[in-house]
Amino acid sequence: MNFLELVKARYSVRNYEHRAVEQEKLDYIMECVRLSPSAVNCQPWRFAVVTEPDRLASLKRAYSREWIQSAPCIIVACGNHAEAWHRKSDNKDHTDVDVSIAVEHLCLAAAEIGLGTCWVCNFDTECCREAMGLPDELEPIALIPLGYPADKTVPEKKRKDLKDILL
Ligand SMILES: Cc1cc2nc3c(=O)[nH]c(=O)nc-3n(C[C@H](O)[C@H](O)[C@H](O)COP(=O)(O)O)c2cc1C
């Protein structure tokens, strides 16, 4: 699969098979996450790979959509603003940029090995903090459910035309 094929293969999976993801696949994905670039190489991120049933059930309460119940694993992507690069000219905090790059590495690595993911940002951060026992300095930025897609058809990509995004 070349890179364009991989980009096309990744889509938001909202229905997962009830089977665990093998540890070696989790390790592969997290190695791709670990090697992600970040501003000034600050790596202002922490990730929790949640598969333990009680913890997973508590975490799922942070996102009220029924479909997330099918996920056998959720990766919690957190940022530490104190560790991130802040641009000198305007003090822009790059935590979200860095964590987003790492999360997209996660999603593409998963797609490459036949696994599905879905970015979830519309979650209750306090509920997530509580379920995970997160320290104050970590902000939960995205929840990424991970598992084998239950539906095998890749939906059509609805995107703006290139002419509409080029300046
Ligand atoms: C930053 C971000 C946040 C998102 N949050 C959610 C979410 O909370 N719930 C959800 O179902 N999808 C969420 N999505 C998935 C988008 O809806 C999806 O990526 C978009 O519609 C394009 O579809 P595709 O991923 O299948 O190509 C999010 C995507 C991104 C990039």
Domain ranges of the chain: 3-149
Taking the C-alpha atoms of residue 56 and residue 165, their distance in angstroms, rounded to an integer, is 39
Find the helix or strand (DSSP H, E) in which 103 lies.
Answer: helix 95-112
Answer whether 12 contacts ligand 1 (Cβ < 6 A): yes
Residue nearest to atom 19 of ligand 1 (CA): 12
Ligand 1 site, residue 121, Cβ cutoff 6 A: yes
Rounded-to-integer distance, Cα 38 and Cα 32, Å: 13
CATH number of 3-149: 3.40.109.10
Q: Round to whole Å and give the CA distance between 127 and 133.
A: 10
Contact 57, 3 (CB under 8 A): no
d(CA 9, CA 112): 8
State if residue 157 touches ligand 1 by the CB under 6 angstroms criterion: yes
- Do residues 69 and 14 lie in contact, with contact meaning Cβ atoms separated by under 8 Å? no
Contacts of 61 (CB under 8 A, 6+ apart): 124, 127, 131
Q: What is the predicted pLDDT for the residue at 60?
A: 98
Q: What is the chain's pLDDT, residue by residue, as a tens digit (167 residues)?
A: 999 999 999 999 999 999 999 999 999 999 999 999 999 999 999 999 999 999 999 999 999 999 999 999 999 999 999 999 999 999 999 999 999 999 999 999 999 999 999 999 999 999 999 999 999 999 999 999 999 999 989 999 999 999 999 99
Residue with CA nearest ligand 1 atom 10? 120
Of 109, 149, 146, which is closest to residue 21 (Cα–Cα)? 146
pTM for the whole structure:
0.98
122 lines ligand 1 (CB under 6 A): yes
Check residue 73 and report its DSSP letter.
Answer: E
Give the pLDDT of residue 152. 84
